């Protein structure tokens, strides 16, 4: 289950993932809130179409939801990636493990 929500930002036209707790705290205190990437989000109107998802937020949310793999440091962190976030070669559905309905 996600503990974040995607918000479109007016300043860069991208969607950023904002932690629900960060959003709630910012709203309660009347301050700005930032996406997981650190971008301060100025929310676009709700009728605005969704933007392109921020590459850093996408990478961070993917790393958060995936099993932790200390050997690869899936989070990247260097910030120097020129292209899209590329998931590590982790096989998520291998062998058909037990299914929980």
Applying CB under 5 A, the residues found at the interface with Zn ion are 16, 35, 37, 39, 54, 57
Q: How far is the CB of 35 from Zn ion (least distance, A)?
A: 4
Which of residues 37 and 63 has its CB atom nearest to Zn ion in the complex?
37
Run of H or E including 14: strand 14-19
Q: How far is the CB of 70 from Zn ion (least distance, A)?
A: 24
User: Which residue sits closest to Zn ion, CB atoms considered?
Assistant: 54
Closest CA to 39 of 3, 10, 75: 10
| CB 15, CB 51: distance < 8 Å | yes
Which of residues 36 and 92 has its CB atom nearest to Zn ion in the complex?
36
Q: How far is the CB of 93 from Zn ion (least distance, A)?
A: 28
Q: What is the Cα–Cα distance from 16 to 74, expressed in whole angstroms?
A: 19
Q: What is the Cα–Cα distance from 23 to 32, expressed in whole angstroms?
A: 9
Q: How far is the CB of 37 from Zn ion (least distance, A)?
A: 3
Which of residues 11 and 88 has its CB atom nearest to Zn ion in the complex?
11
| CB 70, CB 46: distance < 8 Å | no
Which of residues 35 and 74 has its CB atom nearest to Zn ion in the complex?
35
């Amino acid at each position: 289950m996600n503990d974040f929500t995607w918000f479109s930002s007016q300043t860069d036209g991208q969607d950023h993932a904002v932690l629900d707790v960060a959003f709630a705290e910012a709203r309660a205190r009347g301050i700005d809130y930032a996406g997981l990437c650190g971008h301060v989000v100025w929310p676009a109107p709700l009728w605005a179409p969704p933007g392109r998802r921020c590459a850093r937020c996408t990478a961070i949310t993917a790393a958060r939801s995936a099993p932790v793999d200390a050997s690869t440091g899936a989070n990247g962190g260097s910030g120097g990636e020129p292209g899209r976030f590329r998931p590590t070669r982790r096989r998520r559905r291998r062998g058909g493990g037990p299914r929980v309905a």
